[in-house]
Chain A
């Protein structure tokens, strides 16, 4: 009966994660919709600008190849933005109280389970979109490129998951959470370099796009797709200066760390 604390922690975390996956398996609509929506973007937007004049995208890249990186990031971002929903429903229906009455080794196992679940879910969805983009002839990153893509997505997903979990504990109910997700989702896509390069935007929008975390994820992935990825290569010509891949990834890392640190007091209070 006496189990080491670390074993207890992994036992409770795994059990909570398993629950989320069983839910997903029996109600796969989130998984399907999370792939279907970006797929539609990919097909429709790709077709819409298929005849765009040469030189629209700097470097003579076709629009489809340009768009791929944006849609992949959008897929991971949308999935992670929903991270807080299961937690919110558990709060509302009182299932969370059931968990909190149990002698959990650490109550962070509830948060950890959500992070594990949403990370795997969003990576699987992104891989599905990558496969679809490949099928549409928009390319595929090579072996090392794939690692860059996954690592970049991981950083973004961590940041967005932290944000969503924070909202799930701060907001009063799922209606409010869904409203925030709904409002945040598309504007963040448009105000990034997912659909068009900064050089194409009015300067105010260019500034927004150059400060948008989605852009910091999109540009290294785009470089990886074009086979031009190197940590020291400039991937983003922002109005405030040129950013290398390493700088974009560092920005994402700092953002996730900052978000996890800033939601901690809230989690401590709500889970105490």
Chain B
């Protein structure tokens, strides 16, 4: 349904996209995961015909979006990251404007607005001015305007940033329902759990490249091995952690031992095999080596481990690093016409 082929985009010295290819099948809820600055928004802007790539091709529902952007736009609903609404208009007036821009006739416009008001629970406040809306209301209104013309493809850029847990759960439910009704959905996120819980397939983007692609299950399964987190004390000193590390490295079935400074020098292990027996064996070996145990937890690999494996750092670290290197002024310039 969506095919991006070898997309490249450069802003001055910054290579925002470096040969990104994606293939989103029809009826799929597809996640684009990556830290800030990975190229997610650039990718979606190109897809939505707001930005021309330096190289590469974009196909939406069989339409070459670069050659015939207007036909592509008719297939697309886009819910942008920065919610631009007209504060002076009421939500209903904004939707009516939107309906005219998509050339819906007035009967269709009324019917769709009524349907979406019902679906998104906007009845109570839709006739109030947009300037009075909370973040959650704005997001719902924005989703409604993206869905107004019943597009085949819905594109959402970080749809749950800044939403409270309830609004987020409600949004997930709506997206799943839309997918079940046949809409192809592409959403970007830097929340692991979100993509893990929601997406049928995903691509992980880092530094303008796709570094992993597949279903959440297959990506985690392919990684193999279980993850174990050991804390020798609640807040261990580096010495204690290193001591434990050297013991653990000697043990059978332990593939990798990393000290996680962000977690109070907890020790992250990658171990072979699965199951409770493993944990028991580990506990016994630690006792023999007289390494104290505050807690010992075992889990299947997560998408963060997938990211870690591909890039050598956790998504959280990448996120923190990008926050300090962000340039809001340059970002605004990229978004502004």
Contact = CB atoms under 8 A, between A and B. Distances in A.
A103 B74 contact: yes
Contacts of A272: 52
B80 A100 contact: no
Contact of A97 (B85, B97, B337): B337
B222 interface: no
Interface stretch (A8-16, A200-208, A224-232): A8-16
A27 B89 CA distance: 11
Contacts of B70: 103-105
Contacts of B52: 272
Contact of B102 (A16, A94, A95, A102): A102
Contacts of B48: 101
A19 B80 contact: no
B80 A97 contact: yes
B336 A15 contact: no
Interface size of B as a range: 20 to 34
Given A92-B336, A271-B337, A98 B80 contact: yes
Contact of B88 (A23, A91, A100, A104): A23
A104 B48 CA distance: 14
Contacts of A12: 100-101, 103
A240 interface: no
Interface string A211-239: 00000000000000000000000000000
A1 B84 contact: no
A96 B86 CA distance: 11
A3 B101 CA distance: 13
Given A14-B100, A15-B100, A98 B84 contact: yes
A91 B336 contact: yes
A3 B105 contact: yes
Contacts of B84: 93-95, 97-98
Given A16-B101, A19-B93, 5 more contacts: A15-B96, A91-B337, A97-B337, A99-B101, A101-B78
Interface of B: 48-50, 52, 70-71, 73-74, 76, 78, 80, 82, 84-86, 88-89, 93, 96-98, 100-105, 108, 145, 335-337
